[in-house]
Amino acid sequence: MNILITGTSKGIGAALAEKYLKNDHQVFGISRSHNNSLKTHENFNFLSLDISDFVAIENKLPAFIKSVEGFDLIILNAGILGEIKDLKDTSLHEIKKVMDVNVWANKLLIDICFENLRGVDQIVAISSGASQSGSRGWSAYALSKVTLNMLISLYAAEQKRTHFSAITPGLVDTQMQDYISGLPDDEHYPVVQKLKKAKNTPDMPAPSEVAEELIEAFGRAMHYRSGSFLDKREL
């Protein structure tokens, strides 16, 4: 298979790339920095790109994907958290920064792929339970992920030959969790306290473990309506 993954420098993206490469798939990875362990794989194609830079996406992505006629799977994994704080204290500039990476960069990537490729079989966006919970403090991140879910639903209505889904992976021990675990205790943000307690326990598995489960979930997602929001733990 030909597979495009964003955010392959670390975390879930790197773990997914590693799993697919071990099964001899062609992986096209996009991230700001290279993952050293992926460099050794001859089937790994890498583009250094800051996806918050829309001009760079437009200039670099078409040339990067021109060697393939299409992708079997595109995984929109790259994203940023922003700060955990009340929405009233979150500026429009901060919200825009998170939305640019978590939503609009994905729209641009999808559009360029459809403009330059013969076809894409499946597109999966890595979403979050924060898009549904409305938990205090998640502010810009929650807004971006619920918008991402709708973006996927709208494309599904337009692009009937491609199966779309937004999938939440559940808790994963990533750099985002490192940031959260370092936050001071604050009774206003109970979800933060829950995540801090889950850190370094089986409730928060490593990216490599979650990647294996996600790959299985991507296959099962094809049996659901295109454009669906799905929880990996329920697939």
Task: Please give the pLDDT value at position 3.
Answer: 98
Q: Indicate whether 176 pLDDT > 90.
A: no
Amino acid letter, 50: D
Task: Please give the pLDDT value at position 179.
Answer: 87
Task: Please give the pLDDT value at position 186.
Answer: 84
Q: Give the C-alpha separation, 195 to 204, whole Å.
A: 8
Neighbours of 77 (CB within 10 A): 25
Q: Give the C-alpha separation, 61 to 108, whole Å.
A: 10
The angle at the Cα of 96, spanning 140 to 191, to the nearest 5 degrees, equals 10
Query: Would you place residue 156 in the very low, low, confident or very high pLDDT band (cuts 50, 70, 90)?
Result: very high
Contact 9, 79 (CB under 8 A): no
Task: Please give the pLDDT value at position 61.
Answer: 98
Q: Indicate whether 130 pLDDT > 90.
A: no
Task: Please give the pLDDT value at position 187.
Answer: 85
Domains with residue ranges and CATH for the chain: 2-170+207-234 (3.40.50.720)
Lookup: tokens for 161: 């030959």
Burial 119-135 (b: 16+ CB within 10 A, else e): ebebbbbbbbbbbeeeb
Please provide the average confidence, as pLDDT, over all residues in the chain. 95
Mean pLDDT of 85-110: 98
Give residue-wise pLDDT tens across range 30-71.
Answer: 999 988 889 889 999 999 999 999 999 999 999 999 999 999
State the number of CA atoms in the 13 A half-sphere of 218 facing the CB: 21
